[in-house]
A and B are shown apart, each in its own frame.
Chain A
Amino acid sequence: MPRILVCYKWVLDEQDIKINPGDLSLDSSKAKYKISDYDKNAIEEAMLLVESKEGSVDALTFGSDKVKQSLKDVLSRGPGKVDWIGDTAFEQADAFVTANVLAAAIRKNGSYDLILCGEGSSDSYSQQVAPRLAAILSIPAITFVQKISIDGSRIIATRKLGDCTEVVEVAGPAVLSVLPEINKPRIPSLKQVMAAAKKPSQEVKLADLQLGAEELQPKTITLSVKGYVMNRKNILYKEANQADNVAKLVASLAQEGMC
């Protein structure tokens, strides 16, 4: 009967973000929020684990004041309750701050056999929060996980490392970060969506976590965020004979290492 916690991030949908062609600045004025994609895999994996083993799944998030909008979404995907920290400090938070906040909330609110995170977030994708969280909580961290099984207090995970896989075993509790291929998140049914409204959510005030100023001071300062635009080469082949055009195209592609 494992008690599982899933951490998730409420991010802007990258598909809605436009790049201003002039200064390459990002325009997110029309962007909607969503649960970070890999975190959906973490939530799904937690649900699959308790469906076969029983147990419980809670969710935890740290975000801006907008993060409240995520609660019903996450609850519709299965977790029984959600704790959330919504604070303007999030705007400047890096992985260091985020891990500090999440760790403090976990210490304050409960104990878990397993903590699941997505491998990285859809926006900044630092891949640091899970290992940092484990370090602060002084428990094992397993990253790049593509398969999990629980046997009593033992957690057995398969990690994907380039061309090979590694199977590791730890005694819980532990923090695991999962890869997208671990599962295919289900689309919530309407009954789940409707039931989400009746599930509990609890706000955790950042001030109540008794974190020092240093723990809330980001180590990494973002200087700029700009769109990356691949410059098109706009080469036109204008030979009279199509075969010559094809030959030139193939030669160009070969030169670029494309074939």
Chain B
Amino acid sequence: MADMTLTHEQQKLQALAREFTAKHIIPVASEWDEKGEFHKFILEEVKNIGLHCMAVPKEYGGPGCDSVSQSVVMEQFGYGCCAFATTLGGNGLSSYPLAIAGTDEQKQLYYGRLVAGGMGGFALTEPGAGSDAGSCATTAKLDGDKWVLNGTKCFATTCGVANIMVVFASTDPSKGVKGLSAFIVEKERDGFSVGAVEHKMGIRSSNTVELLLKNVRIPKNHLLGNEGEGMKIAMKTLDMARPIVASMAVGVAQRALDAAVAFAKAYLDVNGKPIGMQQAVSFKLADMAIQVEAARQLVRNALRLKDAGVPYTKEAAIAKTFATDTAMQVSADAVGLMGNYGYSKDSFVEKLMRDAKVTQIYEGTNQVQRIVIAGQLLR
């Protein structure tokens, strides 16, 4: 069924992403989950349809998709596999700092790599700096015409396979948050290495690693914006990324709902009637659908504000919180409704429930979203 709130172009993109998901992601997602890695060929496939770097503007060779278009695609990818969506979402996320603060030269470099099929990474979190990004212990010191980076980043999405990334480091640790700066770091720089790979409960095929930076020297012009603007860039980046994470979460929730509906129609109770005919079950399905639809429209609303160029920080945080809470609740409900079958590896809904949990945590925990929302309300 066509979604009439989308433009014709967006509908076409949605259909393309849906077809891709059905053909290339869904058949292998469980295997990726089991192994904890995805097949590289999927990235080639997604390049073939030009959806690997949706956020890159047309003038730099990308598709220059508007935010709603990115959202509808990411919802489909999230529907197929949250880990795959996280990988591509991370690609988009890593390019937002360029859109926010990049010079033309920097954009040429960064976007160029993404358009060519490289993966981008985003390294903000540290062992001692999660929600509190200001406690960053990674440092960047100017030595002649080079920045020298030292430190350890953790929970860095896609960074083990990325060939270019945005890394946050403190140029002045005495200033805390105000000393944080953003840098472009290419994988091939000396002193850059990938540390431990994180084994996660969910989104297992997405690559989450520790990054080790040891006297990594990068050109002076790899600083994004000015010294001390790192926090501002990070916050704006997360503003942009939140509705994308929310879109993936809507996809996860929709998948769980669809699975529960299919189960309710197919599974017969002892009297030979589909369990969907029991009101206890049908009302639960209705509750799930209410949440999924509300989440989707909250996400679309935030993105339309963004595409219209008006402030959307609060709406993005609201959408992220509601959509990821929905993914959590609906996926857990689907497992519950489908009973032992849903809990087993025979079904994929147990994977949805493991995957959904992380959406409440990353890109700013839902507690941080509340700080953002309340900050907007009370200012």
Contacts and interface: CB of A to CB of B under 8 A. Distances in A.
Contacts, number: 9
Nearest to B150: A240
Size range of the chain A interface in the assembly: under 10
Contacts of A124: none
A58 to B, nearest CB: 53
A245 to B, nearest CB: 11
Interface in A211-259: 240-242
Size range of the chain B interface in the assembly: under 10
A242 B139 CA distance: 13
A241 B139 CA distance: 11
A1 to B, nearest CB: 57
Nearest to A239: B150
A240 B170 CA distance: 13
B215 interface: yes
Nearest to B141: A240
Nearest to A243: B214
A199 to B, nearest CB: 45
Interface in B122-173: 139, 141, 148, 150
Contacts of B139: 240
Contacts of A242: 214
Contacts of B141: 240
Contacts of A240: 139, 141, 148, 150, 215
Nearest to B173: A238
Contacts of B214: 241-242
Contacts of A241: 150, 214-215
Contacts of B215: 240-241
B171 to A, nearest CB: 14
Interface in A88-137: none
A246 to B, nearest CB: 12
Nearest to A242: B214
A188 to B, nearest CB: 35
Interface string B212-227: 0011000000000000
B68 to A, nearest CB: 46
Interface of B: 139, 141, 148, 150, 214-215
9 contacts: A240-B139, A240-B141, A240-B148, A240-B150, A240-B215, A241-B150, A241-B214, A241-B215, A242-B214
Interface of A: 240-242
Given A240-B148, A242-B214, 7 more contacts: A240-B139, A240-B141, A240-B150, A240-B215, A241-B150, A241-B214, A241-B215
